[in-house]
Amino acid sequence: MENPTNCLEYLKSKTQVDVDSLDIRGVFQIVSAELGPFVDCTSNQADAYNELLNPRHADLLKKTAALANEIKAHYHHVNYEELAMELSMLSLAMPIVPKITGCILIMVNSFYSYSTPMIIENAQRLHRLCKYLDPEFDTSRLIVKVPSTWEGMQACRKLKSFNIKTLATTAFSVEQCILAAEAGCVYVSPFLNELKAGFDPSYHDPDPIFDIIVEAQRYYEQHSYSTRVKACAAVNVEQILQLAGVHAFTAPADQLRELSTMEQSTTKLVQRSRFKEQLTKEPAKEQATEHANGNTDVNMNGHINGHINGESTENVTETETDKLNFIDDESKFRLAFGRADDGKAQLKTTQALSLFADYQRKAEAMMRDNDMTKIGA
């Protein structure tokens, strides 16, 4: 009889496991010490806002407010609130770097999702702000998260020439994944479920994008792209285990802890994975320790044309497929993306960016409330 395997350790042997948390003194510290180290630490405006609500960050808010007022004259195109928000996010994330082997990931302002120049400026500013906070900080360990819009990916294309690493976030279609690879993103993050499902416990996404995640990784490997698939937004650990074998997966601390308490036979774990063909062909790979270098041990050929044509590819035979090009053809991309999953991919992307924008607005209001130059005025 086959001995059971710890589910988290199994996942880490097949997939780079990242943690989604900015709570360095609490959940992250505990989970990292018990179950880590992990590779990357991701975050977004919702993570930052919810973490900054903790009273223990009162001093951090005062310091970032003072610094924002001190340096805002150098940033003519950004207001105090936005600058303070960015300083606060970085102040939460940068101390996590010594506790991981890879990078921290910080998201640009979602209000810029459809402006290439503003995204470029935002990404460059995040790099400069790191140096204000810590002149010794290694900015190669910062990856900027950029929305998977046409404008966002054109920004990533330019940012690569500045040696700024990017991740394409809020991806819900193969088309977005292809565009991200063409733009030179280090990672693309397909959201397995609608972002709404992560904020509203009563909502259930009827159509998680398992197939798109699998097909994107196959396409990258077939055409030798260095971009890696970093899946996210699972609503439970069962969904995570179904993606064992994906290049990387980001999960919150509670899901990682739950996986660490589960055991199952390796045979059953392989069979439940959407990457089971890969897992049965190849020996287990070690969790990545070199981060964002564009290399991967996965070697999968696949058939992607079904998704491009709006059809399921779940049962197709793996074959060679033509390399597609979107990066130089805006009309072609917009048409293909608009048709993806009968328009659902575009709707999900818009919904996700709107939710992140809501938290950006809430966080900026918090920064306004902590502006000592205005209090009592």
Q: CA-CA distance, 95 to 115, in Å (whole number)?
A: 30
For residue 190, what are the β-bridge partners?
A: 171
Name which of 247, 273, 254 is nearest 16 in CA terms: 247
20: enclosing H helix or E strand: strand 16-20
Name which of 12, 129, 35 is nearest 121 in CA terms: 129
Q: CA-CA distance, 56 to 73, in Å (whole number)?
A: 29
For residue 165, what are the β-bridge partners?
A: 143
Which residues form the catalytic set? 145
146: enclosing H helix or E strand: strand 142-147
Name which of 291, 372, 289 is nearest 68 in CA terms: 372
User: What long-range pairs does 70-73 form, CB within 8 A, spacing at least 24?
Assistant: 71/132
Q: CA-CA distance, 15 to 17, in Å (whole number)?
A: 6
Task: Read off the DSSP letter of residue 2.
Answer: P
How many helices (H) does the chain have, and how many strands (E)? 17, 10
259: enclosing H helix or E strand: helix 253-260
Give every CB contact of residue 291 below 8 A, 6+ residues apart in sequence.
Answer: 39, 40, 101, 102, 103, 141
Q: Are strands 104-107 and 187-190 parallel, antiparallel or unpaired?
A: unpaired
For residue 248, what are the β-bridge partners?
A: 16, 230
Name which of 169, 278, 190, 202 is nearest 239 in CA terms: 190
